[in-house]
Structure 1
């Protein structure tokens, strides 16, 4: 029997495609029932800008007590997706700043829910993208989450 992507993983839009003219705060997702996850960010930079992408944690999907993630996670990036699909491993971190070039880019963070401050009640994650102040630069982001309880209809991660 073949398992489809959506039967194995919960795919959630964190940020709909929008300009990075202003800072972007993505949706929060609960990692309570998640084994591992990824945050995939795509950037279209018509004008070069060293845009920062960073991770936040909160106590619920409403963003209660939101603060930056403090424990580092694996990061990969492709600074020019038009020249290939290879992601390059970067230093572990809680953020990544892309090169100041006019290119299409992709950044991927690998998330272990244990990296959140779970002892302090932090169980939710979101992604934020810094302002480029360029109306022609765009970003979007998705969460791909490996649910503990996979199936035809995995439980929601946008509710507590």
Structure 2
């Protein structure tokens, strides 16, 4: 399978250091599932808190935390391992203080959003951390309704 032809890949957070970060919002109107993949190059023992929010539009309208816990996976030391370890389901995750390159994946089905309330968009956020911690993230949309050509960054 060619990932570029079957999965819509959208940048959520360009590599950034330390500050609180709000990633771009994407719409799940055209996808049934999104994996939010966060990479943390932790250069300081200040943990990084990561959360997922939902909104009613890609402008962030009515943004609030996800109400339903979702599966979270972790690679605690991506320099030496590629083994994903299931964490407790939640809407947020905080890394350990260990100085490692970490991968965190949130697995979100569109049905986990407050659909009855009109919520169909998501975004990833990080709380402020040390300037030596570099964070980036991408959205990997699957179960596409209209193929990879349909935009996820518009309502």
TM-score category, normalised to shorter length? over 0.9
The partner residue of 1:53 within 50, 55, 66 is: 50
- Equivalent of 1:11, from 9, 12, 21? 9
Partner of 2:131: 135
Deviating 4+ runs (over 2 angstroms): none
1 CA distance for matches of 2:45 and 2:98?
Answer: 4
Distance 1:145 1:63 in 2: 18
- State the 1:26 CA deviation: 0.2
State how many pairs are aligned: 154
- Tell me how far 1:29 sits from its aligned partner: 0.3
Structure 2 residue aligned with 1:29:
26
What's the CA shift for 1:6? 1.5
Distance in 2 separating the partners of 1:158 and 1:140: 18
Deviation at 1:94, TM superposition (A): 0.2
Shift of 1:78: 1.3
- Structure 1 residue 118: Cα displacement: 0.6
Equivalent position of 1:159 in the other structure: 154
The unaligned stretches of length 5 or more in structure 1 are none
Matched, 1:102 2:81: no
CA RMSD of aligned residues (A): 1.0
Partner residue of 2:146?
149
For residues 83 and 94 of structure 1, the distance between their equivalents in structure 2, rounded to whole angstroms, comes to 27
Deviation track 1:82-141 (CA, whole Å, cap 9, x = no partner) reads: 121111001100011110111111100001000000100000000001111x21210000
